[in-house]
Amino acid sequence: MSPTAKSLNPFSLKERIKVPRQLMPEQPADERNKNFNEVNLGYSPELARQEALRCLECAKPTCTDNCPVGVNVKEFVELIVAGDFLGAAAKIREDNVLPAVTGRVCPQEDHCEGKCLLSKKVKPLGIGYLERFVADYEQRMGTHILPNVTPTGKKVAVVGSGPSGLTVAGDLIQKGHKVRVFEALHELGGVLVYGIPEFRLPKQIIREQLDYMREMGVEFETDVVVGRTVTIDELMQEEGFDAVYIGTGAGLPQFMGIPGEHLNGVYSANEFLTRINLMKAYKFPTYDEPMLDLHGKDVAVIGGGNTALDAIRSALRLGARKAYVIYRRSEAEMPARAEEVHHARQEGIDFQMLTAPVEFLSDGNGWLTAARCVRMELGEPDSSGRRRPVPIKGSEVDLPLSVAIMAIGTTANPIVQSTTPGLGTDKRGYIQADSNTQRTTRKGVFAGGDIVTGAATVILAMGAGRRAASSIHDYLTTGEW
Amino acid sequence: MFKIIHAQFIAPGIKRFVLEAPRIARKQKAGQFVILRVYQEGERIPITIENSDPQRGTINIVVQSAGKTTQLLNSLNTGDSILDVVGPLGKPSEIEKVGTVVVIGGGVGTAMAYPSAAAFKRAGNRVITIIGARTKELVILETELREVSDVLMITTDDGSYSDKGFVTDKLRQLIENGTRIDLVLAIGPIVMMKAVAEMTRKENIHTVVSLNPIMIDGTGMCGGCRVLIDNKSEFACVDGPEFDAHKVNFGVLVQRNSMYRDAEQKSLQAFKHSAGDPATTQCALAQGGKR
């Protein structure tokens, strides 16, 4: 493959491969593990241009093909090379309404960067870092390029203001439809706000993205639990919405069903993170929501995903003496983003791999004192394709703990399904939706994100949102179902 | 912002608020609750809905002063606002014609028992209501409950009004008198609900209780409200709040509700310390009002 004829990049392909991937400036590990400020500090314009020069400008860019929302990587990187950072941001926004978010939390190694041609020889292009840079640059400049739209007179209700709902809202408002987003909590942003901690995704960034969406005309209503406060049918029949998108996100936390899970000190990751991120319980008593004091305590998270790492790294920042990740498989199988595992290790998190709790022990007064764990070895691959962990007989060990956080996944939230007649669900209770159009079994009702797939990532939820927005637009313009 | 149309103490430390909440008013059914957050730095707490008026677009909530948030709430008056009110949450009570229903309300739980008693009556049941309070001044909703009950019994712990004793004394009398009871609904302090459950278990009377665990989002996300039902985890916000009393592990509920006792005490003391100056509260609320 060769650079396009009009390339602004002065380097030959061979030279580009020799340019090292530009390191992301970050807070030193032994400082950041005591504060909630962002770990990554962001590229300077110089670093961004230097990194952008590494792009091979493939004729058939596999990065874009592997992006769930189809960001035009090659073109936005070219604009960075040309020094047109605002243009680069606008280019990304054509496909991605939340670039400052995905630039930070998307597992790029599974998508764009994982397929970058450079990665065959050297480290892949820092696409996530570049995306973050232009989104932040645009924010600092305070100038958005607002799209021109012609109103269609159609109204769409979006249920849930998480990444998939916001994507649908952002895409449809640009097509001229009226969009109103309903949120159950008192703050907008869904998992971006209650789940992902400040040190990985500052809340100010979400507020800025929301302000931008308001500028484009998206309406928001908080404190509305669709299914309870108002039903899908009422939205369509009484409030005049022509289509509804359901993006209600992750459901109830799963527990292991082992003895002692109801002890005081055992949290679900959702509760633990909600107390910290949404309710600011770590600022108690300035904020009223309490949480257990973690100073000098030993804390463990059970699980190996991003949520698990978010929880345990938060615990460390709140003064935990020891902070463990207890994961029943090995590091290779951990679903967490590679950069998060790397950062967590630097910060001093103790990874207890191939280990699983079998019981939580108490002090006799209802408080957790330890997790009885068993060591595992990997056996044959299971249905997920990963090697199944098998307990090693006689390997029990008691790990003293004051707090244990369960981050082993979620189940479907039943509220919308149980109050919407005719809305098909699968046997686990998730909403059935076509994987291309995101149509549900109810005319005019679309769904996507975790409430369809079960717990996944921000970018996959946004991908579903994009597909849904496109088919909602088709439905609203043609009337065909 | 949710405007307080009317606020009035109905007993010492127990206040009724009429809130402007048209969406909730339209949907509220017996057995459901709201979660509210008074101001920007406030916690989210579940609160009983006593009644609603869909035409006026209002709901009534009844709040008993206990911790900081309820004390702060009860310092609010007509014309003030509450920052966030979300609901109606939880599954509604299952209201069917079953025959004779004994509705038991203990303390401020009486406010939540009221809409259920009324609904059971409307469904054609014979409704026997027992309300219990510590003392005469704390007996609430007597007139309202008399209207919807075939029989109303009242007990006070100190005997200062009606009969001295506990709601379970009345329930035992009913059972001993051979009164046919098809269903018992008990809402109140955990010790009361547990005592009722133990009594009816022996008699094999189907009994429902409304649980009040610690809760944050109330929408089936955080899992903080998990309760042990038949030795399995269930979530009061989406699976409840009403459960089969004979399957509830009350011990775990008491234990988990005590998790933040120290923090709650600290919060309350700090609030009481500053409450001597009403301007402090007003200032906090005014700030909270800005989103």
pLDDT at residue B282 in the model: 52
Task: Name which of B44, B256, B266 is nearest A262 (Cβ-Cβ).
Answer: B256
Name the closest residue on chain A to residue B227, using Cα atoms: A262
Chain B segment 58-77 residues within 8 A of A by beta carbon are: 68-69
Say how far apart CA B221 and CA B219 lie, in whole Å: 6
Asked if B224 lies within 8 A of A271 by C-beta distance, the reply is: yes
pLDDT at residue B290 in the model: 34
Q: How many CB atoms lie within 10 A of CB B162?
A: 18
Residues of chain B above pLDDT 70, percent: 94
Q: How far is A297 from chain B (nearest CA, A)?
A: 16
For the packed helices B190-203 and B250-257, what is the interaxial angle rounded to 10 degrees? Answer: 180
Q: Which of B221, B239, B269 to mutate to test the interface with A (most CBs of A within 10 A)?
A: B221
The residue-averaged pLDDT of A162-177 equals 95
pLDDT in tens, B49-63: 999 999 999 999 999
Q: CB–CB of A217/A171 below 8 Å?
A: no
Give chain B's mean pLDDT: 92
pLDDT at residue B48 in the model: 87
pLDDT in tens, B242-252: 999 999 999 99
The residue-averaged pLDDT of A298-307 equals 97
Q: Which H/E stretch holds residue A325?
A: strand A322-326
Q: Is B37 helix (H, G, I), strand (E, B) or coil?
A: strand
Any residues with CB less than 8 A from the CB of A47 and at least 6 apart, and which?
A: A22, A25, A133
Asked if A274 lies within 8 A of B69 by C-beta distance, the reply is: no
Which residue, A37, A106, A104, A42, is CA-closest to A313?
A: A37
pLDDT at residue B291 in the model: 29
**Any CB–CB contact under 8 A between B5 and chain A?**
no
The residue-averaged pLDDT of A183-199 equals 96
Name the closest residue on chain B to residue A272, using Cα atoms: B222
Q: Using an 8 Å CB-CB cutoff, list chain B residues near A251.
A: 220-221
Query: How would residue B283 be classed by pLDDT, with cut points 50, 70 and 90?
Result: very low
pLDDT at residue A5 in the model: 53
**Any CB–CB contact under 8 A between B159 and chain A?**
no
Chain B segment 165-224 residues within 8 A of A by beta carbon are: 216-224
Chain A segment 198-227 residues within 8 A of B by beta carbon are: 222-225
Q: CB–CB of A462/A95 below 8 Å?
A: no
pLDDT in tens, A357-372: 999 999 999 999 999 9
pLDDT in tens, B80-91: 999 999 999 999
pLDDT at residue A1 in the model: 42
Q: What is the pTM of this model?
A: 0.93
pLDDT at residue B275 in the model: 63
pLDDT at residue B34 in the model: 97
Checking if the pLDDT of B279 tops 80, the result is: no
Q: Is A373 helix (H, G, I), strand (E, B) or coil?
A: strand
Checking if the pLDDT of B109 tops 70, the result is: yes
Give yes or no for a cis peptide into A400 (omega within 30° of 0): no
Q: Is the dihedral of CA A11, A12, A15, A20 positive or negative?
A: positive
pLDDT in tens, B198-213: 999 999 999 999 999 9
Checking if the pLDDT of A341 tops 50, the result is: yes
Task: Name which of A252, A262, A290 is nearest B238 (Cβ-Cβ).
Answer: A252
Q: Which H/E stretch holds residue B10?
A: strand B2-11
Instruction: Name residue, tokens 């089936």.
Output: B220
For the packed helices A45-52 and A73-81, what is the interaxial angle rounded to 10 degrees? Answer: 120
Q: Using an 8 Å CB-CB cutoff, list chain B residues near A280.
A: 41
Instruction: Name residue, tokens 């009002």.
Output: B289
Q: Is the ipTM of this complex over 0.85?
A: yes
Chain A segment 279-318 residues within 8 A of B by beta carbon are: 279-280, 284-292
- For residue A76, which amino acid is it? F
Residue A74 main-chain phi, psi, to 5 deg: -55, -45
Q: Using an 8 Å CB-CB cutoff, list chain B residues near A284.
A: 263, 267
Checking if the pLDDT of B108 tops 60, the result is: yes
pLDDT in tens, A235-278: 999 999 999 999 999 889 999 999 999 999 999 999 999 999 99
* Cα-based torsion angle of the residue sequence A389, A392, A395, A401 in order, rounded to the nearest 10 degrees: 20
Say how far apart CA B87 and CA A415 lie, in whole Å: 12
Q: CB–CB of A310/A323 below 8 Å?
A: no
Checking if the pLDDT of B287 tops 60, the result is: no
Query: How would residue A142 be classed by pLDDT, with cut points 50, 70 and 90?
Result: confident
**Any CB–CB contact under 8 A between B273 and chain A?**
no
pLDDT at residue B289 in the model: 38
pLDDT at residue A148 in the model: 80
| Of the listed ranges A388-392, B45-49, B283-287, the one predicted with least confidence | B283-287
The residue-averaged pLDDT of B28-56 equals 95
CA angle B161, B211, A230 (to 5 degrees): 110
pLDDT in tens, B216-259: 999 989 999 999 999 999 999 999 999 999 999 999 999 999 99
Chain B segment 223-242 residues within 8 A of A by beta carbon are: 223-224, 226, 228, 232-233, 235, 238
Asked if A285 lies within 8 A of B256 by C-beta distance, the reply is: no
Asked if B220 lies within 8 A of A224 by C-beta distance, the reply is: no
Q: How many CB atoms lie within 10 A of CB A419?
A: 17
Query: How would residue B285 be classed by pLDDT, with cut points 50, 70 and 90?
Result: low
- For residue B184, which amino acid is it? V
Say how far apart CA B89 and CA B241 lie, in whole Å: 9
Checking if the pLDDT of A2 tops 60, the result is: no
pLDDT in tens, A455-464: 899 999 999 9
Give chain A's mean pLDDT: 94
